[in-house]
Amino acid sequence: MPRILIAGFQHETNTFAPSLADWAAFTRGDSFPAFSQGRAMQDAMTGVNIPIGGFIDAAKAHGWTLLPSCWAGAIPSSFVTREAFERIADTIVADVRAAAAGGLDGIYLDLHGAAVAEHAADSEGELLGRLRAIVGPKLPIVASLDLHANVTHRMLREADALVSYRTYPHVDMADTGVLAAQLLARRLKAGQREPQHARRLPFLIPLNAQSTWMQPAQDLYAALAELDKRHGTVLSFCMGFPASDFDECAPMVWGHGEHAEAAVEQLYALVADPAQWQQQILPAREAVSQALALADRAGKPVVIADTQDNPGAGGDSNTTGLLHALIAQGAGRRFPGQVALGMVFDAAAGRAALEAGVGAELDLALGTAVPTFAGGLSDPPVRGRFKVRAVSDGRVTLKGPMMRGVTVNLGPSACLEIDGILVAVVSGKKQLLDRELLRMVGITAEAMRIIVVKSSNHFRADFTPVASSVLVAKAAGPMAADPGDLPWKHLGAGIRTRP
């Protein structure tokens, strides 16, 4: 029975964002499961829609014995601190060393691929390199990656095989763990690495243009699956995370298999046309006025993505540009109790609401003016009298397609009403990607006329089915919708910041 060590390290680093990913962020996890180790880690991940969950299931089917190390994930933010990276890497390194002494046949890593540590820009390449140094060139190491990985040449060199998600929203995380297990099984059977081929795109792709629920990505990933069928390859196309300022930040196409080169070149020819990646983003005021016009006619909610404060991309989920725009245009007076916005990360407001109770009125300054990539600050807090509509302890189990079954704890939470607008306030950062997060504070998404979500694309999996239309808005915030707006310093020569 092959003995396989499993471990996970997930962070998406927006080097332009305000908050660091320190050790405390990994122990909390926030939108990820909290740090866990050994048997407890394996139990916690079993059946969950994240890659290691899928890998654990597949390993059972393959008859492998699993040696669980640790799993560490933190919500996207600025750099992973040196301390956090070293603690996580040390844990995995120690477990690999112990396992290697007792008999080890392979390693599987559940990686994001866009982590940048304070002292190691290519964090995953560094981690893979340290493990490779222990186990030598012959032991198989396979990893799964997020579709937003900025894949480096070192990662491709140190690992025997890498495979990424094929959906954004990431509804196929566990499936990607299963694919990684397939690659490991192929590698174990062959006794040597399969041929590999890779091509990097010469431009960054904006996040909002990446959704596989829309074109061009929908057709491109369908083509990827077709090419795999035709060539017997396992191809990946990472569209990349266009806010990690280091020399290898860029989209990458690669594949494994006898015909990897032909398959990768064919896929590259399809994805590398820059014209298809152009996108439509509205200023906040314009998005609200379009939404109001659409909501008059629509029977279902109009969703506005507040993309530049997406906590899934390094925002702190606390900016107020869209709330100001809703108030200024009287959205809540037009549709009282049917305009919602979330999730605003404001622990003081959440605690005050929980203490005051339902029905209370609170004078608050909600939200935060944060430094933006453009220089200066985002909009000021919204000052006024808020009515507490509902409160919650912030514990909720998600039901949407992306993170079904995952329980999150966002601390003291509430629905606060101002001017007829319902604001979901939480004490932990979480991207609004699941309708249960609104239901937690008494907001029924389907009954709304307008919903503002602090998200770029992940909301689409659970919200698009109940929405009449989706608009993408650009309010002042820390995450640039257009990578060309960012003050890049370290990007590799030959990589353009716009398609």
Unique residue bearing structure tokens 């959704």: 211
From its phi and psi, is residue 13 left (phi > 0), alpha (psi between -120 and 50) or beta? Answer: beta
45 vs 288, beta carbon nearer Zn ion: 45
- Total binding residues toward Zn ion, as defined by CB under 5 A: 2
Smallest distance, Å, CB 303 to Zn ion?
19
- Minimum Å distance from CB 217 to Zn ion? 13
Considering beta carbons, is residue 208 or 392 the nearer one to Zn ion? Answer: 208
Q: Minimum distance from CB of 241 to Zn ion (Å)?
A: 7
Residues 254, 196: Cα–Cα separation, whole Å: 7
Give the whole-angstrom CA distance, residue 218 versus residue 127: 32
Instruction: Give the gyration radius of the chain's Cα atoms.
Output: 22
Closest by alpha carbon to 307, among 428, 427, 112, 459?
459
- As measured in angstroms, the least distance from the Cβ of 12 to Zn ion is 6
How far is CA 32 from each of CA 2, 36, 72, 74, 125, rounded to the nearest angstrom? Answer: 29, 11, 9, 6, 22
Residues of span 96-155 touching Zn ion by CB under 5 A: 146, 148
Closer to Zn ion by Cβ: residue 148 or 199: 148
Q: Is 389 in the site for Zn ion (CB under 5 A)?
A: no
Residue 449 CA to residue 339 CA, distance in Å, equals: 6
Question: CA geometry: angle at 158 spanning 155 and 159, to 5°?
Answer: 80
DSSP string, 268-292: HHHHT-GGGG----EEHHHHHHHHH
Closest to Zn ion by CB, 106 vs 483, is 483
Q: Would you state the structure tokens that stand for residue 267, as one six-digit string?
A: 């896929």
Smallest separation (angstroms) from Zn ion to the CB of 211: 11
- CB closer to Zn ion, 312 vs 321: 312
Is 93 within 8 Å of 101 (Cβ atoms)? no
Which residue's structure tokens are 């309708």? 435
Taking residues 264 to 293 in sequence order and writing x for each that binds Zn ion by CB under 5 A, - otherwise, the string is ------------------------------
Helix, strand, or coil here: 107? strand
Nearer to Zn ion, 214 or 262 (CB): 214
Least Å distance between CB 162 and Zn ion?
15
What's the distance, CA 58 to chain centroid?
A: 23
> Shortest approach of Zn ion to residue 168 CB, angstroms?
7
SS3 labels along 435-483: HHHHHCCCCCHHHCCEEEECCCCCCHHHHHHHCCEEEEEECCCCCCCCH
Closest CB 279 distance from Zn ion, rounded Å: 17
Residue number, 148 or 454, with CB nearest to Zn ion: 148
Q: Which helix (H) or strand (E) holds 65?
A: strand 65-73
**Shorter beta-carbon distance to Zn ion: residue 146 or 194:** 146
Closer residue to Zn ion (CB): 148 or 474: 148
- Of 146 and 346, the one with the shorter C-beta distance to Zn ion is 146
To Zn ion, the closest distance from the beta carbon of 401 in angstroms equals 15
Minimum CB distance to Zn ion smaller for 212 or for 378: 212
Smallest gap from Cβ 403 to Zn ion, in A, equals 12
CB of 170 to Zn ion, least distance (A): 6
Rounded to whole angstroms, the Cα distance separating 125 from 151 reads 9
For the chain, how many residues are written? 499
Residue nearest to Zn ion (CB): 148
Closest listed residue to residue 303, CA positions, set 479, 457, 483, 478: 457
Whose Cβ is closer to Zn ion: residue 96's or residue 239's? 239
Residue given tokens 């966002």 in the structure block? 410
Nearest approach, Cβ of 243 to Zn ion (angstroms)? 12
Let me know: does 425 contact 366? Beta carbons within 8 Å. Answer: yes
Residue 367, strand partner residues: none
The token pair at 202 is 């010469």
CB atoms within 10 A of CB 363: 9
The residue ranges that bind Zn ion (CB under 5 A) are 146, 148
